[in-house]
Chain A
């Protein structure tokens, strides 16, 4: 199975300031079709997760443009350009390149 490792596991951030979460996979996430199926999910308190970013850097419908994804191969990053109060929650990276799908441990974003 592909192991996904996120850092940090907790990230206190000041409102209006940037935040960054890293995700590393134990092997390349490049699929045989040439795509890289790395996505980011956000889970607000008491809510189900929701899709933010798919295929490394594509924002899903309705996701604010302060969220961006980047990376390649085994190293990926989610950035929030200016944190807002509604961004509080847990963020997960997920790989869909190979079954079983696997997730990072989650990074808890808190407002300082």
Chain B
């Protein structure tokens, strides 16, 4: 099991930028679970349902990314395996990006270990 802790919570003006971080801990006898994990970001607007934001694969699988249409071209997911940390760079923020953002491990194309989430508020 991986423990995930998000950080970077903030209030940002429309058009602004913000970077979220997600620190992972947890290992097996063979090493860090994070290094072998695909990682996702999912968000939840206040009082609403879940919306997938995007994913980054592990280095072994190419480290490639995929994004939901509403954030493509504005958000970038990256990872630093040496620090067991996942990032979400958010640019050109809109009021509709206001949400709790969760980082989650991907396991057989499902969402296994969830962080507690972090609130991002985009407002003038």
Contact = CB atoms under 8 A, between A and B. Distances in A.
A-B complex is real = yes
Interface of A: 1, 31, 35, 37, 39, 41, 48-51, 54-55, 60, 90, 92, 94, 96-97, 99-106
Interface of A is mostly: loop
Nearest to B50: A103
Interface of B is mostly: strand
A105 B18 CA distance: 28
B31 interface: no
Q: Which 6 A-B pairs have the closest CB atoms?
A: A96-B109, A37-B109, A39-B110, A101-B52, A48-B114, A103-B50
Interface residues of B, number: 22
Nearest to B117: A48
A37 B111 contact: no
The residue in A99, A102, A106 that gathers the most chain B C-beta atoms within 10 A of its C-beta is: A99
Given A103-B51, A105-B49, A97 B115 contact: no
22 contacts: A1-B69, A37-B108, A37-B109, A37-B110, A39-B111, A48-B114, A48-B115, A48-B117, A49-B102, A50-B114, A51-B111, A51-B112, A54-B107, A94-B111, A99-B55, A100-B52, A100-B69, A101-B52, A102-B52, A103-B49, A103-B50, A106-B50
B6 to A, nearest CB: 10
Contact of A55 (B50, B108, B111, B115): B108
Interface of B: 40, 49-52, 55, 66-69, 102, 106-112, 114-117
Given A103-B51, A105-B49, A48 B66 contact: no
Contacts of A39: 110-111
Nearest to B68: A100
A32 B56 CA distance: 21
Given A54-B108, A55-B108, A92 B50 contact: yes
The residue in A31, A39, A92 that gathers the most chain B C-beta atoms within 10 A of its C-beta is: A39
Contacts of B102: 48-49
Contacts of B55: 99, 101
A41 B102 CA distance: 14
